[in-house]
Structure 1
């Protein structure tokens, strides 16, 4: 295969084509966001490289030569061919399938978002719009395809499918109080117990403790903030497995005692009936269930 002749500088070609089209260096400069001097310099360099005059100059007025006009038309045709070839490679907007997903903030940030890259890799033609909200959104009215909710599965008007259950247990930072960590459940009587919307009483009962529900201090409604406070060593937290598994795996938090308590609520995938049959919703559902099956099960 013979070697192709060397192409002139692309920036110079762009500058020349614009100048020839306008027959005005200033307008070409405005179009390309350059200075008049830059256009003039690039055109001069191109003329020197080609060994031909592309413009007839009369002060600041310029007129394209016949050779220059033919060359400018060839450049414009080539640029159009390149643009069309590039457009043909891009997926059309009609081919992009949009999938809107809403989830509770703790699940969205700590479980779903870190895994979404694999879904995009498997389905590059699907654009995912992920929303996190602690409010129960009206999926039909807000035109949302899929919701992931933590509840008891009663969602009138929506297709509902259970994804997985959940357990909770106490965790603590290895640096808590700069000393020995609680060894037995009764040691929690002297510990700082962090509070959230998940009550301690059911776990106390499972552990055989006669302790009162903690009171006072901060009430964390956002579980990510609860985890952050626990990692910082502020106290012992009662956490859901799905929310805390990253910090436990990294060693930033330690599970205590091996006593777990099942949550009264589960994770559900919900969808409006009109959206449930969409190909992108089916693909997301299948991927999500596979991710859950492959995730480390709570012990």
Structure 2
């Protein structure tokens, strides 16, 4: 028996009624009336020449033939729905951009600026990965990355986004703040550091503080944690200009005496050299370069 197109409404109504064991609930799901569902089921029973439901005062229940058809119809419709979802998902994926970056830069620099990108590109969806380990740009991996480093990574094309500088900061409520007049005074404080390769040794050298014994009492893997430690008065932190800006603007931290040391490393937007960026990813890259220049 060939399955004609006009069987599909009846099969859809039957499959829903079989799942719910209730015509009224099936009607609600399909936005039909209960009588319309009942009509579809009776039409199907008439064409097949078998009873699909046993009807009784408390509702309906499937016959053996009804159970057999319900299993087949449910499986077939689920397969069709899955294919439709995947086809729609493939189209949606064209508008999704996966970006891997640093948590500190995401929190303090990227997130405050993203609303302007989404206003210009409301159809683009973003997935942001801030895992500490460097993400591999394999198939199915991120489209773009923002990395902090020298600017050269094998297999990646890189675009300079911005440089940064290093300088000491502390909470305006820090207990010893009135006594911090020179870089040498800072060396006597409990210091807060992160895991970056350039740190307090480099800054004191740039500040002409030589031979001083200083204590890095707190060390954090993430720069925002180092900033927050300073906000809470735990000591003096060596700030990175791009990360510290919102803390300074909100008055949570103040810059202390001493030079701004130009960092050896900068921030770069990167992506696989062998792969052409999709339009959505290219739009994000163009935006990143534009706001970084601004």
Same fold at TM > 0.5:
yes
> SS at the partner of 2:246?
helix
1:27 and 2:25 equivalent? no
- Asked whether the equivalents of residues 139 and 145 of structure 1 are also in contact (C-alpha less than 8 Å), the reply is yes
2-side partners of 1:97 and 1:122: how far apart? 13
1:139 Cα shift?
1.0
- The gaps in structure 1 that reach 5 residues or longer are 1-17, 41-57, 63-90, 295-299
Provide the rounded CA distance (Å) in 2 between the counterparts of 1:206 and 1:59: 90
Aligned to 1:101: 99
Kept in 2: contact 1:104–1:133 (CA 8 A)? yes
Q: Please give the alpha-carbon distance, in whole angstroms, between the structure 1 residues aligned to 2:140 and 2:89.
A: 25
The aligned counterpart of 1:76 is: none
Aligned-residue offset at 1:130? 0.7
1:275–1:212 Cα change, 3 Å = farther
1:262 aligns with: 262
* 1:154 counterpart residue number: 152
CA distance in 2, matches of 1:112, 1:175: 28
SS for the counterpart of 2:178 is: coil
Equivalent position of 1:188 in the other structure: 186
Report what 1:228 is aligned to.
228
Of 152-161 and 202-211, deviating more is: 202-211
Distance in 2 (alpha carbons) for counterparts of 1:237 and 1:209: 17
Change (3 A) 1:145 1:92: closer
User: Root-mean-square deviation (CA), in Å?
Assistant: 3.4
2:119 aligned with 1:130 = no
Residue 240 of structure 2 is matched in structure 1 by 240
1:173 aligned to which of 126, 146, 171 = 171
1:286 partner SS: helix
Cα distance change on mapping 1:282 and 1:179 into 2, 3 Å:
closer
Q: Which structure 2 segments of 5+ residues have no match?
A: 1-12, 35-55, 61-87
Distance between the aligned counterparts of 2:270 and 2:276, measured in 1?
A: 8
Residues of 2 paired with 1:156 and 1:179: CA distance?
45
The one-character-per-residue Cα deviations of 1:118-142 (angstroms, maximum 9, x if unpaired) are 2122112211111112212211255
Q: After superposition, where does 1:1-299 map in structure 2 within 5 Å?
A: 27=22, 30-31=25-26, 94=91, 96-141=94-139, 143-177=141-175, 180=178, 182-197=180-195, 198-212=198-212, 214-215=214-215, 217-257=217-257, 259-294=259-294
Q: What is the TM-score with the length of structure 2 in the denominator?
A: 0.67
Q: Is the 8 A contact 2:189 2:215 kept in 1?
A: no
Shift of 1:172: 0.6
Q: How many residue pairs align between the two structures? A: 229
